[in-house]
Chains A and B, each alone.
Chain A
Amino acid sequence: MEKLLEIKDVDKHFDISGSFLDQLRLKGGRISRQKTVVKAVNNVTLDVMAGETLAIVGESGCGKSTLARTVMGLYKPNKGEIFYRGNRIDNLSSKNMLPYRTKMQMVFQDPYASLNPRMMAREILEEPVKFHNPTLSRGEIKDRVAEVMLQVGVDPKWASNYPHEFSGGQRQRISIARALVLDPEFIAADEPIAALDVSIQAQILNLLMDAQDKRGLTYLFISHDLSVVEHIATRVAVMYLGCVCELATTKELFSNPQHPYTQALLSAIPRVGGKRGGHTRLTGDVPTPINLPTGCVFHGRCQHANERCTQEIPAQRALESGTVVACHAVEEKRI
């Protein structure tokens, strides 16, 4: 399989110190300047293979959206490199990034916030086509938009409606249409169904899977819903505090999770027809990415943590099964 996207050692940190004056602190009678940095994504290395659905899972604040936005070029990484079909894209000027802006698209959780409320559905879909294909005639643009609307299941007779006139599910169809209308290769979908009801979720997931089949799309699929991920993903990366702690095929991850955090996460999922009890319970809260713990980011909540875990950051290691896991205990064969 060909690598479509390579993410290498990427850090994305946000400096939230504010103005120079906000940064001043009085310590022991002396004024010092203090920076506050959110370490949202830390040393992430991942490949996305052409045609696959790579899911990113993890609890809120673990850096899923930041990673997706960094990949899309909406944020510049503080460290590391991103390659698309072998070409480095993280350091491109907006002009040089332009060709990738058609190949790479993003779908967001809240279709209402991501659609311009003052534009009709038709305009929302025509705008990117016009921008990237200035030579197309009006008729050609219209045809292309109508075709995509049909494909996502929005009747073209609603083309003159505004976003608020659609239901949540229909709005998400329109934002998917907006992503598809440029005929991309890659779509980063950030919690695309989280705001929808179950019966509508199924409609949108089917739509995404159909579009993938028809167009050979590659997805980076972000979700906190593990049963959805189990259904749709080829491989899964589990994130915790900005770090990837495990990367595995969907089958391996769900049947044979290695990292203690993955194990806890999986055992916490409620199952239809399941019974409570017998879960591995995590205690304590997720620390903030402002003061990252030393060593393994998970050590404060890990029942297998030892001295080494508090000091040394575990490196990603590939197991025989192909699963990549960052955990000392797994490496030492303690678990």
Chain B
Amino acid sequence: MEQLLYIRHLNVDFVLREKTLRAVRDVSLTINKGERLGIVGESGAGKSVLGFSIINLISKPGKITGGEVMFDGEDISKYSYDEMRKIRGNKISIIFQDPMMTLNPVLTIGTQMKETILAHMDVSAKEAEAICLEKLKKVYIPSPEKRLKQYPHEFSGGMRQRIIIAISLLTDPSLIIADEPTTALDVTIQAEIMDLLLELCETDNMGLILITHDLAVVSEVTQRIAVLYAGRVVEIGPTEQIIGNPQHPYTQGLLKALPEMADGENRLNQIPGMMPSLFNMPDGCPFEPRCKEKKEHCTQTVPGLIELENGAQVACFAREGGK
């Protein structure tokens, strides 16, 4: 399979007045052409920062302090703002949880879509309009001609997210990064949007990085999953392995905590405590304070990812020696 993007030993820091917040630590992952990768973790785990750092969009005072992001054979983590702008919205599109982060409330949908096209492509206004209509049809917006003349507030939440997807498709990207794209939507609308994203990825062989806290959603949509905990990838592998045969104590605990995994038991499995503050990380394994399987050296050394036989990689000393 052909690699689309790979990240090696990526570190992202937020340098605040007194301390440094280590939001992303030593993250390495690969996504192949047309592949769908899920990034899951609880809030504050660093999912959004990781997603944004791929396209060099981290807000200040955040900074990539190490590692590389290779896209189409080039290290884009070192790109200038202008070079990055070309990639962003051209070959890589991003979809946020809140559509209003992308949409301008005072411009019609048509104006905004055409602006995007004209910024990236050398086409006439007429051709731009045709592209807009084509993409709106692709995301199943009824009467697209009429809709082009409307403002964002005239659309429902689900429709707005469809418009965002249409915008993200304008430049025929090879990778879409979607950060909690359906978290604010109701379950019936969420299902429609996920079906749509899946269909688009499959028909256009588009790569997808789906960032979410929702294990059920990633399990239905992605082929591989990376589990993020306190800024680190603690487990990554094929979706059916991560969901059906998780190896990291955190992933195992997380899945068992889901009500649908309770198996008739009344009490849910709970992971004691909570994720450590990124200001105040344990010296060793970030999961150590909550881990039932911890060993002595877990408090001193950070475990690296090791390959498992099931095709997954896990960062845990208790799994060393192969399993």
Q: What is the number of contacts between chain A and chain B, taking CB atoms within 8 Å?
A: 113
Tell yes or no: A241 within 8 A of B by CB.
no
Query: Contact: B274 with A200, CB < 8 Å?
Result: yes
Tell yes or no: A30 within 8 A of B by CB.
no
Tell yes or no: A197 within 8 A of B by CB.
yes
Query: Contact: B216 with A199, CB < 8 Å?
Result: no
Nearest CB of chain A from residue B222's CB, rounded to whole Å:
11
Mask of B47-76 contacts with A, CB within 8 angstroms, 1/0: 000000000000000000000000000000
Determine the chain B residues whose CB is within 8 A of the CB of A202 once the complex forms. Answer: 257-259, 268-271
Query: Contact: B259 with A265, CB < 8 Å?
Result: no
Query: Contact: A224 with B190, CB < 8 Å?
Result: no
Q: How far is the CA of A56 from the CA of B269 in the complex (A)?
A: 24
Interface residue tally for chain A (C-beta within 8 Å): 39
Mask of B275-288 contacts with A, CB within 8 angstroms, 1/0: 00000000000000
Query: Contact: B156 with A285, CB < 8 Å?
Result: yes
Query: Contact: B219 with A270, CB < 8 Å?
Result: yes
The secondary structure that dominates the B interface is: helix
Determine the chain B residues whose CB is within 8 A of the CB of A226 once the complex forms. Answer: 187
Tell yes or no: A9 within 8 A of B by CB.
no
Query: Contact: B194 with A276, CB < 8 Å?
Result: yes
Q: A270-B214, A272-B215, A273-B219 are in contact. Are A59 and B270 (CB under 8 A)?
A: no
Tell yes or no: A138 within 8 A of B by CB.
no
Q: How far is the CA of A169 from the CA of B266 in the complex (A)?
A: 20
Determine the chain B residues whose CB is within 8 A of the CB of A232 once the complex forms. Answer: 259
Interface residue tally for chain B (C-beta within 8 Å): 42
Query: Contact: A285 with B195, CB < 8 Å?
Result: no
Determine the chain B residues whose CB is within 8 A of the CB of A141 once the complex forms. Answer: none
Mask of A77-89 contacts with B, CB within 8 angstroms, 1/0: 0000000000000
**Restricting to A194-213, which residues have a CB under 8 Å from any CB of B?**
197-203, 205-206, 209
Query: Contact: A206 with B267, CB < 8 Å?
Result: yes
**Restricting to B138-177, which residues have a CB under 8 Å from any CB of A?**
156, 158-159
Query: Contact: A282 with B188, CB < 8 Å?
Result: yes
- Which residues of chain A have a CB within 8 Å of any CB of chain B? 59-60, 167, 169, 197-203, 205-206, 209, 224, 226-228, 230-232, 264-265, 267-277, 279, 281-282, 285-286
- Which residues of chain B have a CB within 8 Å of any CB of chain A? 42-43, 156, 158-159, 186-188, 190-192, 194-195, 198, 213-217, 219-221, 240, 243-244, 253-255, 257-262, 266-272, 274
